């Protein structure tokens, strides 16, 4: 069994993440997904910073922020959010100052995740440089250790009680019940939704609004969509542009849409109210929240 203390004792908020993922099995699968994708994200950040492309830097760091927050990488999420705000404001100097911290923290979380998953040995100092440095007085450090141990015991107990709690029940259907379109630039969130519904529905992921528009403009594909989860803050073409495209082409008549919104998007939601959407799914959300919103979409499908 993997030792969850490896994560908790190094500042990962596993308890918060389990509110989304439900159990450690889903968390571990998502952590593997993150490791497969994160190097490309970091490479893109380096590329965009090198040419001062703040627009694309903001898009990429926003995605990293979402992934980090869902996995409980608190410091990385905060650094990425700070860089997102600075890059959106065109603050090149601010991004230059924050960027090295993001890369350093991301590499710490990558190495930490690999140790936890058993992909690299914990004592391999060539691969694991300084996972965590905690600067605190001894009393605070002792209290934190006790709290972490209690949390770890609770999580391990949950794993033992429900070792397969998040397994999807296989259906005997000859074909799936239709398509759920997930328009989301965070691979972590998109894959999480896919794992929830993939046993009964074809879950198709569009990583930006341009791809979503391309898909729904295909009549055959559009006729199979039973629900659409649409993130607002995305690269290239954002969710608002997708909503407007749906409105202009009268797609809302046949495609039920629920908007996915982060906390930082709340001030922009007045515009969303002008479109006939089914509901708003607010980040951070958990499996129950997603199921409730999708069920609303399915109930309105004609």
Q: What is the pLDDT of residues 136-172, one digit of tens each?
A: 344 444 444 455 554 555 554 444 444 443 333 333 3
Low-confidence ranges of the chain (pLDDT < 50): 125-145, 150, 156-174
User: Is residue 114 within 8 Å of 120, Cβ to Cβ?
Assistant: yes
pLDDT per residue over 271-280, tens digit each?
Answer: 888 899 999 9
- Structure tokens belonging to residue 86: 């600075």
Q: What is the pLDDT of residue 297?
A: 93
Distance CA 78, CA 84 (A): 10
The domain ranges of the chain are 5-161, 179-300
Q: Which of 219, 218, 243, 229 is nearest to 184 (CA)?
A: 229
Q: What is the pLDDT of residue 18?
A: 86
Provide CB contacts within 8 A for 96, sequence distance 6+. 49
User: Is residue 22 within 8 Å of 286, Cβ to Cβ?
Assistant: yes
Q: What is the pLDDT of residue 167?
A: 38
DSSP state of 185: S
Q: What is the pLDDT of residue 136?
A: 39
CA-based Rg of the chain, rounded to a whole angstrom? 20
Region of 90 please: left (phi>0), alpha (psi -120 to 50) or beta: left
Q: What is the pLDDT of residue 132?
A: 45
Distance CA 213, CA 217 (A): 6
Which CATH architecture describes the domain 5-161?
Up-down Bundle (1.20)
Q: What is the pLDDT of residue 217?
A: 97
Q: What is the CATH number that goes with domain 179-300?
A: 3.40.50.2300
Average per-residue pLDDT for the chain = 82
């Amino acid at each position: 069994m993997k030792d969850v203390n490896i994560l908790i004792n190094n500042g990962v908020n596993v308890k918060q993440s389990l509110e989304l993922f439900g159990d450690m099995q889903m968390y571990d699968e998502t952590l593997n997904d993150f490791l497969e994708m994160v190097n490309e994200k970091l490479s893109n950040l380096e590329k965009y910073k090198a040419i001062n492309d703040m627009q694309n830097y903001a898009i990429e760091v926003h995605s990293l922020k979402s992934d980090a927050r869902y996995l409980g990488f608190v410091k990385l999420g905060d650094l990425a959010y700070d860089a997102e705000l600075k890059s959106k404001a065109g603050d090149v100097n601010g991004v230059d100052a924050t960027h090295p911290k993001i890369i350093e923290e991301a590499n710490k979380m990558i190495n930490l995740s690999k140790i936890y998953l058993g992909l690299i040995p914990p004592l391999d100092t060539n691969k694991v440089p300084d996972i965590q440095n905690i600067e605190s007085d001894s009393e605070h450090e002792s209290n934190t250790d006790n709290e972490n141990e209690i949390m770890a015991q609770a999580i391990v107990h949950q794993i033992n009680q429900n070792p397969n709690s998040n397994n999807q029940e296989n259906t005997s259907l000859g074909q799936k019940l239709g398509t759920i379109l997930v328009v989301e630039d965070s691979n972590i969130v998109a894959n999480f939704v896919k794992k929830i519904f993939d046993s009964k529905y074809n879950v198709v992921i569009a990583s930006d609004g341009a791809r979503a528009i391309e898909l729904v403009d295909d009549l055959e594909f559009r006729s199979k969509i039973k629900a659409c989860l649409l993130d607002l803050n995305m690269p290239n073409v954002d969710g608002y542009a997708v909503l407007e495209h749906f409105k202009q082409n009268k797609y809302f008549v046949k495609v039920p849409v629920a908007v996915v919104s982060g906390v930082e998007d709340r001030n922009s939601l007045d515009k969303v109210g002008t479109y006939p959407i089914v509901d708003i799914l607010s980040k951070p959300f958990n499996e129950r929240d997603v199921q409730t919103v999708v069920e609303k979409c399915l109930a309105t499908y004609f």
